[in-house]
Chains A and B, each alone.
Chain A
Amino acid sequence: MTYDVPVAPGETAELQESIEDATEGWPMWEVFVRARRGISHVHIGSLHAPDARTALQNARDVYTRRGEGISVWVVPSAEVHAFEPEAAADYVEANEKVYRLATTYEIPEEVGQM
């Protein structure tokens, strides 16, 4: 498909200097939407806005045009914290402790459903 439109020889796709615009100072926000009652908010995308109120309005316009959400959360991207990728393996439990799983226990059939 022509989104990978060929680059002509000698053409560079690097920027020489940065942009000057009012939006340069706008932080990025992560957007979470609860689609309907009974289910959790789900991360759906991100946007830039100067403050929380504008972020909420823009999130509504971009992500809920078809009634896809009854609740919208916006969180500054800088406030979303995660383990460093290299360290994740140390912190996130591996699947070694099978005794945590119900399926490792044998319950005789005559006992009935358990």
Chain B
Amino acid sequence: MAPEDRFQAIIEAEEKIEPSDWMPEGYRKTLIRQIAQHAHSEVIGMQPEGNWITRAPSLHRKAILIAKVQDEAGHGLYLYSATETLGVKRNDLQELLHQGKHKYSSIFNYPTLTWADMGTIGWLVDGAAITNQVMLTRCSYGPYSRAMVRICKEESFHQRQGYELLIKLCSGAPEQRAMAQDALNRWWWPSLMMFGPNDSDSIHTEQSMQWKIKRVSNDDLRQQFVDMTVPQAEYLGLRIPDPELAWNEERGHYDFGEIDWEEFWQVVKGNGPMNRDRIEHKTRAWDEGAWVRAAATAHAAKRAAAAA
């Protein structure tokens, strides 16, 4: 059997491609880029919430936020490990991110303006991520799908803590309810944009589906997210900022309005509110941390010499 046929047969049989298997160069390159950008998203994603650690309103909330941000770092590390099974080095991937040649999920280019943003991000952003990541547990590449299983287990806490935070705000003072509504107003549409362009405008989808990297289309995932989230907003007593949002009995799904694709592409291109800040912060953290890495190396050498 030709290697390409064997490769596709493994995929058709819903079995996993493992690092030692033959794979088309396109499959390898697509996965490297996608998993790397996923890892970068986790690490950049530490910033919007890291921003509020010093201002959490209670010690309990501070501990939760620290744990969540630590989890995001860990998720990035699981994913960089997965990329390294494909023959790349994580330092090189990080450099590509710093140089702007690799991207990350656009949602993290929006600012976190109030404490209610912490709840909203957990509820909507992690909620959208879970929708996508549950699908990715079924992707064809073994190391990526296994990392997804691990991440999904931890992601659930992220969404629940955020939603619980909003329950507290929405059952509090009018100012707290207003803060929650304002956060929803700002994060709703960017969260829908997380699922990418409409299927008709998504050029990579067909190949990704054939290789079973992608298992469900952008539009279907987005619909899944909306259907799941609307009742959650209703419970909180919050209004989703979409006048066209309505239950469609015939389809058995919610109809919703058109995304502002101009905003979507502008943010992808680098013109979102926080694009420059995120990369500056990331490169500064790497540069200012150089002494820690050098110290760890020197200390290891010193221990080895003492033991010799």
Q: A residues near B, CB below 8 A?
A: 1-6, 8, 11-15, 18-19, 21-26, 28, 45-48, 50-51, 53-54, 61-62, 65-66, 82, 85, 88
Contacts and interface: CB of A to CB of B under 8 A. Distances in A.
Contact of A50 (B37, B208, B269, B300): B300
Given A2-B106, A13-B96, A15-B92, A26 B101 contact: no
From A5, A8, A48, residue with most partner B Cβ within 10 Å = A5
A1 B195 contact: yes
B297 A25 contact: yes
B173 interface: no
B194 A22 contact: no
A46 B81 CA distance: 6
11 contacts: A4-B30, A11-B101, A15-B92, A18-B92, A23-B91, A46-B84, A51-B304, A65-B67, A66-B154, A82-B20, A88-B20
A85 B21 contact: yes
Contacts of A21: 91, 290, 293
B81 A45 contact: yes
B268 A85 contact: no
Nearest to A18: B92
A92 to B, nearest CB: 12
B208 A22 contact: no
B264 to A, nearest CB: 9
Main secondary structure on B side of the interface with A: helix
Interface residues of B, number: 55
A22 B41 contact: no
A48 B268 contact: no
A93 B203 CA distance: 43
B169 interface: no
B22 interface: yes
A23 B34 CA distance: 24
Interface string B270-303: 0000000000000000000010011011011101
Contacts of B299: 50
Given A3-B38, A4-B37, A19 B92 contact: yes
